[in-house]
Amino acid sequence: MEPKNPENNRNLEEESRVEDSMASFEGNHGSSTIQRTERPSFKPELMEEILSRSNLELALKRVRQNKGSAGIDKMTVDELPDYLKRNWEEIKTQLLQGKYKPNPVKRVDIPKPDGGVRQLGIPTVMDRFIQQALCQILQSEYDKTFSDSSFGFRPKRSAHQAILKAQTYQNEGYQYVVDLDLEKFFDRVNHDKLMGKIRRDIQDVRVLKLIRAYLNCGVMDNGIVSRSEEGTPQGGPLSPLLSNIVLDDFDYELEKRGHKFVRYADDCNIYVKTARAGERVMKSVKEFIEKKLKLKVNDNKSKVAKPSKRKFLGFSFLGGAIVRLLIASESISRFKDKIRIITRPTRRIKFLDLIKELNLYLRGWKNYFILSEVKKTFTRLDEWIRHRLRSFIWHQWPKIRTRYKMLTKFGLNHDLALRTASSRKGAWRISSSPAMSIAFPNRYFDNKGLLRLGI
């Protein structure tokens, strides 16, 4: 729909610089037009709804709950309420007039588990607040129209639901997966195509200008600001919603072709019954993604294979008459790397504080991987963690005299304590010795409050 106000219409044409993404495409499936039968329904005065008191109060609450680092202005989340009291009327006026200019985001490089770095863009807390308010209103309408097979960054949907859906398809006989990896997805989103999609649904020019401003606000790296020509920087509240809007046409195309699929953000698995069908799907879907969405498929990470040979959201699948879920080996390796960091022997930390830090990580990890149906994995990891802790304890006793004293204190007899204390074996081997198991049995760690994964 076009704006009712002619002046708004002229502004939209002059300032949005968007392309209409409802273009027809040619392919193996003939000529067609991407057109949703159901579209979001937004009010013409959308900005006023975004700036309503109730929506702003909720946005402020969520931004404060999420905490996060300061942006380029170094303002913290705790400082935001006072800043709003002093400056909100001026900022609100700028938003209502369509003149608000976001700050560039601060670039932060986060190491990826499989190597390389993921570049995050951290907005200022003020911009996170505005983005959150914007996202809450847009999400409430857009979410109604998204595919049932899309699970990422959506209210009342989760990675667990996506994983269970993937398991269901396999148990229905879809024994091969087309595992798609979009290369640098968040960095490659075409701004004009994205704005063309949003323009179909939103009449309020001020909101369109604000979204475009956030896309183009730029990145500050080492004091130098570079303009954003494409991509949606990860790190802001608005980015996840925009990613789902970008990939909505992809979901619709897969539905139209009758595919069984599960998508979580840019991680998509399509389930088919034969390897040959999988190769055909991979070829046609890759063509659609690269030609129509202007995104890039990572050929090195995208494969057609048995699900048991791939991982999805940290899980893998154990084939058989009934497919079972298990924790992917890569997830276990990352888990152990994290535990090694927490329990590194050179740390100067009280043992109870170490347990508290461990529990914080273990609790979140356990809650996520609780779906695993191979429970012995948890038991084995519990044993390994206790092994690490015994090794940590041993490292705190560098001298033979100290080792002997502490071992006898924890119940060992003279001979065993002396023999163990004077051993030339390394800490890792000593930590699995009978002496350390007697001195520090499982119940010792239970009494210290260590969380068990296997219970």
Q: Render pLDDT for 282-332 as a digit per residue (tens, 0 to 9).
A: 999 999 999 998 899 999 999 999 999 999 999 999 988 899 999 999 999
C-alpha pair distances (Å), 318 with each of 48, 87, 263, 307: 52, 57, 20, 8
User: Has residue 42 got a pLDDT over 90?
Assistant: no
Cα 45 from Cα 25, distance rounded (Å): 34
Residue 206 has phi, psi (to 5 degrees) of: -65, -40
Q: Render pLDDT for 369-388 as a digit per residue (tens, 0 to 9).
A: 999 999 999 999 999 999 99
Please give the single-letter amino acid code of residue 135: C
Q: Are 316 and 310 in contact (CB under 8 A)?
A: yes
236 vs 89, higher pLDDT: 89
Residue 233 — pLDDT band, cuts 50, 70, 90? Answer: low
User: Has residue 263 got a pLDDT over 70?
Assistant: yes
Cα 248 from Cα 250, distance rounded (Å): 5
Q: What pLDDT, on the 0 to 100 scale, is given for residue 24?
A: 27
User: Has residue 147 got a pLDDT over 60?
Assistant: yes
Q: Are 217 and 131 in contact (CB under 8 A)?
A: no
Q: Supply the pTM of this predicted model.
A: 0.82
Cα 119 from Cα 122, distance rounded (Å): 10
User: Has residue 58 got a pLDDT over 50?
Assistant: yes
Cα 448 from Cα 384, distance rounded (Å): 17
- By the 10 Å C-beta count (0-12 exposed, 13-18 middle, 19+ buried), 96 is classed as middle
Q: What pLDDT, on the 0 to 100 scale, is given for residue 188?
A: 76
Residue 221 — pLDDT band, cuts 50, 70, 90? Answer: low
- Nearest to 121, CA basis, from 242, 190, 217, 185: 217
User: Has residue 25 got a pLDDT over 60?
Assistant: no
Cα 232 from Cα 211, distance rounded (Å): 11
Cα 222 from Cα 106, distance rounded (Å): 9
User: Has residue 176 got a pLDDT over 60?
Assistant: yes
Over pLDDT 70: what percentage of the chain? 86
Query: Within 307-374, where are the H helices?
Result: 329-342, 351-369
User: Has residue 9 got a pLDDT over 70?
Assistant: no
Q: What pLDDT, on the 0 to 100 scale, is given for residue 13?
A: 37
Residues 6+ apart with CB under 8 A from 387: 428, 431, 432
Q: What pLDDT, on the 0 to 100 scale, is given for residue 116?
A: 65
Mean pLDDT of 335-351: 94
What's the angle, vertex CA 189, arms to CA 31 and CA 303, rounded to 5? 70
- Would you state the structure tokens that stand for residue 133, as one six-digit string? 């308010």
Q: Are 197 and 207 in contact (CB under 8 A)?
A: no
Cα 449 from Cα 359, distance rounded (Å): 8
Parallel/antiparallel/unpaired status of strands 324-327 and 260-264: unpaired
**Buried b / exposed e across 193-211, counting CB within 10 Å, b at 16+?**
bbbbbbbebbbbbbbbbbb
- Nearest to 168, CA basis, from 374, 323, 305, 328: 323
Q: Is the dihedral of CA 263, 117, 121, 357 positive or negative?
A: positive
Average pLDDT score over the chain: 87
- What DSSP designation does 346 have? T
Q: What pLDDT, on the 0 to 100 scale, is given for residue 216?
A: 85
Residues 6+ apart with CB under 8 A from 388: 339, 340, 343, 431
